[in-house]
Structure 1
Amino acid sequence: MKIKRVDHLVLTVTDIARAIRFYHEVFDMPIINFNAQGEPNCVRCGHQLLEFQTTDRLPKLTAAQPTSSSAAICIVSGDKPEDVCNHLKSYYIPIIAGPVEQVGSEGKMTAIYIHDCDQNLIEIASYKDR
Structure 2
Amino acid sequence: MMIDHLDHLVLTTVDEAACLRFYVDVLGMTLERFGEGRKALTFGQQKINVHVKGHEIEPKAHTPVPGALDLCFIASRPLDDVMATLKAKAVAIEQGPVARTGAMGPIRSIYLRDPDLNLIEISEVLPA
Q: Structure 1 length as normaliser, TM-score?
A: 0.90
Report if the CA contact (8 A) 1:20-1:41 is conserved: no
List gaps (5 residues or longer) in structure 1.
Answer: none
Equivalent in the alignment of 1:10: 10
Residue 35 of structure 1 deviates from its aligned partner by 4.2
Which stretches of structure 1, 4 residues or more, deviate above 4 A after TM superposition? none
Question: Which whole-Å deviations, capped at 9, do the CAs of 1:70-103 have from their partners, x for residues lacking one?
Answer: 1110011022222111111111111010000000
Q: Which runs of 5+ in 2 are unaligned?
A: none
**Alignment match, 2:28:** 28
For the residues of structure 1 that align with 2:115 and 2:35, how far apart are their CA atoms? Answer: 21
2:16 aligned partner, one-letter code: I
> Aligned residues, how many?
127
C-alpha separation in 2, matches of 1:32 and 1:5: 21
Q: Over aligned residue pairs, what C-alpha RMSD do you find?
A: 1.4
* Distance in 2 between residues matched to 1:41 and 1:78, nearest whole Å: 23
Whole-angstrom distance in 2 between the partners of 1:86 and 1:94? 11
Contact 1:20-1:42 within 8 A present in 2 as well:
no
1:67 paired residue among 65, 68, 88: 65
The letter for the 1-side match of 2:121 is E
| Partner residue in 2 for 1:109 | 107
1:123 aligned residue: 121
Match of 1:49 in 2: 47
Q: State the alpha-carbon separation in 2 of the partners of residues 87 and 109 from structure 1.
A: 19
8 Å CA contact retained: 1:16, 1:41: no
Identity in percent: 32
